[in-house]
Amino acid sequence: MKRQKEAYFMISVVSRRFNVHPQTLRLYEREGLLKPSRTEGNTRLYSEEDVERLSRILRLTRELGVNLAGVEVILKMQEGMEAMEKDFNQLLASLRDEMTRRQEESRSRSSHALVRSQPARVIRLKKG
Q: What is the DSSP string of 71-110?
A: HHHHHHHHHHHHHHHHHHHHHHHHHHHHHHHHHHHHHHHH
In a domain, 37, yes or no: yes
For residue 82, the model assigns a pLDDT of 97
| Number of domains the chain contains | 1
Range of the domain at 16: 8-101
pTM to 2 decimals? Answer: 0.70
In a domain, 30, yes or no: yes
In a domain, 113, yes or no: no
Radius of gyration, alpha carbons of the chain: 25
For residue 5, the model assigns a pLDDT of 75
What 3-state class would DSSP assign to 19? Answer: coil
| 37-92 tens-digit pLDDT | 999 999 999 999 999 999 999 999 999 999 999 999 999 999 999 999 999 999 99
41 against 114, higher pLDDT? 41
As a whole number, mean pLDDT of residues 21-43 equals 96
The CATH number of whichever domain residue 27 belongs to comes to 1.10.1660.10
